[in-house]
Structure 1
Amino acid sequence: MKLEIRELRKKDYKKAIQSAIIGMHFNWYTDSKLAVNLYGKYFWYLEMTRATQVIALYADDEFAGVLLAEMKGEHKKFRSFWGSFYVKAFNMLHNLFTKGGVSVYEEANEEMFAQYTKTNTPDGEIIFLAANPEIKMKGIGSALLREFASRNKGKEIYLYTDNACTYEFYEHRGFHRVGEKDIVLQLGKKQVDLQCLLYSKVLL
């Protein structure tokens, strides 16, 4: 199979969502498949509405992975009334039924970022990176990062992740851990212990 950078096809959004659900272990947070899929869709459209760079990778004609980034001074790539409406509606329902849940995660990220930016002025953020688990190839994530770096040489970027994800992937590729915070998510009757992480790197 040959890996190739292309424009992301709209028909592959579902595959990107499923890649995130599996790679980021959304099933840690709920036993409901419906809730997992609804959250995966929300997460995708939330990040797409922020993205200024969208880098998609294909293996022959199959979706292999995608990287989304929000860079300072760049225009948003995605415009969708439906996507924006879904994000807003989901946020309203989410805040109504999970008060004190995910807000703890967001507060931890804000705290780490505030500390990080006391001494750093980043140029942008990687907001989404996922590889299609159905493509049995190594190097998809690395290829996406290389393409992103080639477009943004010399820029300092950061990203949020946690111990539910393969954070070691970033450490093996020169990212430095610049923040960490242990939290407990209380989602209904389910309690999840997490370590929130912040990574940074100047792209070469």
Structure 2
Amino acid sequence: MQIRELDKKDFKKVIQYAIKGMHFDEYLKNNFILQAYGRYFWYLEYTNATQVIAVYDQAVLLGVLIADMKDEPKPYRSVWKRLYVKSVDIIQNVFFGGGVMPYNEANKEMFARYTERYNPDGEIRFLAANPDNEVRGVGTYLLKELSMREAGKEIYLFTDTNCAYQFYERRGFERVGEKEIVLELSSDVNLKCLLYRKML
């Protein structure tokens, strides 16, 4: 496995990793909307990144980690990607406001409580591995790389019970927030929003 800059030709692959790993297809049944949301999600995370860490096996992308660290530059910002994000935000609020708002509000509430006690240095915004790849330990490898780069700093991340949250617990992350919500989408989705922290 090799750490290197994410090749832009692999963006489409990362979007599919996000769709599969975060089970977006359970919330969005229309494939066009699903793909559009996957692109929105990727652009949102990518343009807010201070670090994009990719791991490859020769030319094959194995996984990606995106971090947003305090006081570090955000070199991946793009006017047209941010315009796409803003456009989808407007559409979401108009057509799916009741569906997405509980998730966003839960994360805001948990973060406010968390920062009463802790002063984080950054956030892991995205971590996904190729679901069709047989190489094991990709997520751990990416976390170790971030830990080497940002040793001694506190990070946090948001996830939920519909994702592989146990991965973080097995790697020493502490759960410091949780809130049960219902997403009113094509069908009601019950899940628990989670907030984790760790000192690297």
TM-score (norm 1): 0.96
Instruction: Name the SS for the 2:179 alignment partner.
Output: strand
8 A contact 2:48–2:77 mirrored in 1 = no
User: In the alignment, what sits opposite 1:202?
Assistant: 199
Instruction: Name the SS for the 2:116 alignment partner.
Output: coil
1:140-193 C-alpha deviation (Å, 9 max, x unpaired): 000000000000000000000001100000000000000000000112x41110
1:134: how far off?
Answer: 2.4
User: In the alignment, what sits opposite 1:5?
Assistant: 3
Give the whole-Å Cα distance in 2 for the aligned partners of 1:198 and 1:135. 28
Give the whole-Å Cα distance in 2 for the aligned partners of 1:80 and 1:136. 34
Q: Summarize the alignment of residues 11-90 of structure 1 with structure 2, pairs less than 5 Å apart.
A: 11-90=9-88
User: In the alignment, what sits opposite 1:161?
Assistant: 159
User: In the alignment, what sits opposite 1:96?
Assistant: 94
Structure 2: which amino acid aligns with 1:133? P
Instruction: Name the SS for the 2:98 alignment partner.
Output: coil
User: In the alignment, what sits opposite 2:132?
Assistant: 134
The 10-residue stretch of structure 1 (77-86 or 18-27) with the greater mean CA deviation from structure 2 = 77-86
Pick the aligned partner of 1:192 from 185, 189, 194: 189
Pick the aligned partner of 1:173 from 171, 174, 192: 171
1:6: how far off?
Answer: 0.6
1:147 matches 2:145: yes
8 A contact 2:129–2:138 mirrored in 1 = yes
Structure 2: which amino acid aligns with 1:194? L
**Structure 2: which 5+ runs fail to align?**
none
1:104: how far off?
Answer: 0.7
Q: What's the RMSD between the two structures over aligned residues?
A: 0.8
1:81: how far off?
Answer: 2.3
The 10-residue stretch of structure 1 (122-131 or 92-101) with the greater mean CA deviation from structure 2 = 92-101
8 A contact 2:173–2:196 mirrored in 1 = yes
Give the whole-Å Cα distance in 2 for the aligned partners of 1:150 and 1:63. 21
Give the whole-Å Cα distance in 1 for the aligned partners of 2:87 and 2:97. 16
Give the whole-Å Cα distance in 2 for the aligned partners of 1:33 and 1:132. 20
**Structure 1: which 5+ runs fail to align?**
none
Give the whole-Å Cα distance in 2 for the aligned partners of 1:22 and 1:177. 24
The 10-residue stretch of structure 1 (94-103 or 7-16) with the greater mean CA deviation from structure 2 = 94-103
Instruction: Name the SS for the 2:40 alignment partner.
Output: helix
8 A contact 1:54–1:77 mirrored in 2 = no
1:132: how far off?
Answer: 1.0
Give the number of aligned pairs.
200
Give the whole-Å Cα distance in 2 for the aligned partners of 1:133 and 1:173. 20
Give the whole-Å Cα distance in 1 for the aligned partners of 2:131 and 2:117. 37
